Amino acid sequence: MLHNSFHKSLSRLPRNILSRCLSTAPPNTTLVIGGGPVGLCTAYHLALSSPRSNITVLERDPTYARASATLSAGGIRQQFSLKQNVQMSIYGRDFLRSAHELLRVDEEEVDVQFQEKGYLFLASTESGAEVMRRNHEVQVGEGAGVKLLNCHELKEKFPWLNTSDIVLGSYGETGEGWFDPWILLRALRRKCQSLGVTILKGYPICASRDNDTGRILSVSVVEQHGGKDITSMYKVDNVVNAAGAHCAQLMAMLAGQKKLMHPIPVEPRKRCIFFFHCATEQKDIIVPRIAPLTICPISNVYFRSEGHVEDSGEATGNFLCGVSPTKEKDHMVHEMTDIDYADHELWEEIIWPALYHRVPAFGEVKLKSSWAGLYEYNTLDQNAIIDFHPEIPNVLMACGFSGHGLQQAPAAGRAAAELLVNGEFQTLDLGMFSFDRCYGKKPPVFELGIV
C-alpha cells in the first residue's frame, strides 16, 4: 500500500495515543483534507465568502516534495471539448493573471511566473482535424484565445516544426502556457492564513459517523509539532476531500467499518517528466527558441520550453517532455517507492523518436534529468468529481481531475465553496461533474480528441 495509507498510519501509532486525544477545533469546523491547489483554493474561496467559518486545512507534507502539483509540468490551457472544462480553465487563467493582487499579503509581491507561451495541438488526419474544428467552436464560444492554423500557417509560425504529416493545428495564442506551482502553493497558503484559515501539518487516522444519517461527526488527526505527534479530535460540520491521488483511500477511512457502496473511482497513477537540452546551433536546422507546449498526434508525446523565456531572447535549448504510459502499462501505484525514479524506457522507446520526428533539431539532445509523480486518475471518464457523497452527505469531494487539477483548482475551489455555503453552484454550472455519474445514475462525461 502507499506509505500514507491511513490504515497503515493508524497501525503505527502507540496503543495509548488515541486515549490522549485533544479537541482542538471549535464545533462547525470545515476540515479540508489535502493542502494542495484544490484544497487551498477551496479554503481561500470559503474564507472570502463566509468569513466567520472555522476552516482548517490538513496537509501531510507542507514541503510538497511529492505533491502532484510541484512534480507536474505546471500547464494551463483552455483547449477542451467540454465547455465546463473550458470555463474552469478560463477562470484559472484569470486567477493566475490577477494572482499578484488576489494573493497579496502585507505588500509582498506574488509572481507565479505565468508564461503565456501557448499550447499547440496537432491533427494528422482529416477526422482528427474535424474534431479539432468542433472543439474550437466550443473554446472560442467561451472566450478562449485559440486559433486554428493550416499546414502553411504552422510552418510560418513554427519553422522548426515538421508539418509534413499534419493536417491542422490548434494554437492557444493567449491564456495558455505554464507557471510555477510551488510559488502558487506558497502564495495560497500565506493568503489563506491571512484570512484566518488554520493550516496544519498532519494526517487523519479515523472518523466517527452518525449511524442514522451517515454524516461525519468528528475526525481524529495526527498533528505533527516540533517532531512530536499529537492526536486531536476535530468536531466537523463538513469535510472536504481534496486528497488528490489519495482521495479514494481517504474516503474509505472516513467511511470506517461501514464500507461504501459507491467508492470514488479514482486511483494514483505514475507520470514521468524528462528534462533535456538541445544544441542551440545546428547547421541547416532551425532550433526552437520558444516552443509552446506541443502535443504530437498519435503518440501524444508533449514537449515545451523550460525556464523563463523571452520573446526576443536567445534560445536556451532547455525543454520538458513526457507521455502517458500505454494502456497495458498504466497501472495503479501501490508503493511510493514506485515514483522514486522515472521510467526511462518511455524516453527511449516512445518520446525521443517522436520528438526527433516532429522537430528535426531534437536529433541532437542530451537528457539532463527526470522525475516521476502521482496522477489522480478517474477511471470512469478522466474528469473531475465536485459533489457531496450520497452515503456521507457532509463530505464534499473535489478530486479526480486526471491531470487538470492544478489549472482548474481556482474554479474548483470556488465551486466547492459555493456548495458548502449555498448548497448549489453559482459562478459556473458544474453539475456535469456530480458524483451520480459514478454509480450509473447519469452517464459519464468524456473529452473528445484532447489529452
Model confidence over 392-444: pLDDT tens digits? Answer: 999 999 999 999 999 999 999 999 999 999 999 999 999 999 999 999 999 99
For 165, phi then psi, to 5°, come to: -115, 20
Q: Return mean pLDDT, the chain.
A: 92
> Are 252 and 5 a contacting pair, CB within 8 Å?
no
Tell me, what's the pLDDT at 23? 45
Tell me, what's the pLDDT at 314? 76
Tell me, what's the pLDDT at 307? 85
> Are 37 and 180 a contacting pair, CB within 8 Å?
no
Tell me: pLDDT of 4 over 80. Answer: no
Tell me, what's the pLDDT at 16? 37
Model confidence over 5-63: pLDDT tens digits? Answer: 434 444 444 433 333 444 455 556 999 999 999 999 999 999 999 988 899 999 999 99
Tell me: pLDDT of 295 over 80. Answer: yes
Query: Which has more confidence, 3 or 381?
Result: 381
Beta bridge partners of 233: 220
> Are 419 and 431 a contacting pair, CB within 8 Å?
no
Beta-strand ranges (E) seen in 89-138 are 119-123
| DSSP state for residue 105 in the 8-state scheme | B
Tell me: pLDDT of 312 over 70. Answer: no
Q: Which is nearest to 36 in space by CA: 387, 419, 438, 408?
A: 408
In single-letter form, the type of residue at position 154 comes to: L
Q: Which is nearest to 264 in space by CA: 396, 111, 138?
A: 396
Tell me, what's the pLDDT at 11? 42
User: Measured in Å, how far apart are the chain's first and last C-alpha atoms?
Assistant: 28
CA distance 2 to 293: 32
Tell me, what's the pLDDT at 342? 98
The pTM for the full model equals 0.93
Q: What is the largest CA-CA distance in the chain?
A: 75
Q: Is 83 helix (H, G, I), strand (E, B) or coil?
A: helix
Lowest mean pLDDT among 109-123, 304-318, 322-336: 304-318
367-388: buried (b, 16+ CB within 10 Å) or exposed (e) per residue?
Answer: beebebbbbbbbebbbbbbbbb
Tell me, what's the pLDDT at 326? 93
Grid cell digits, residue 10: 493508524
pLDDT band at residue 356 under the 50/70/90 scheme: very high
Q: Which is nearest to 394 in space by CA: 206, 242, 216?
A: 216
Q: What percent of the chain has pLDDT over 90?
A: 86
Lowest mean pLDDT among 20-29, 285-294, 376-385, 404-413: 20-29
Tell me: pLDDT of 1 over 70. Answer: no
Tell me: pLDDT of 74 over 70. Answer: yes
- With residue 98 as reference, give the H or E element that holds it: none
Tell me, what's the pLDDT at 12? 44
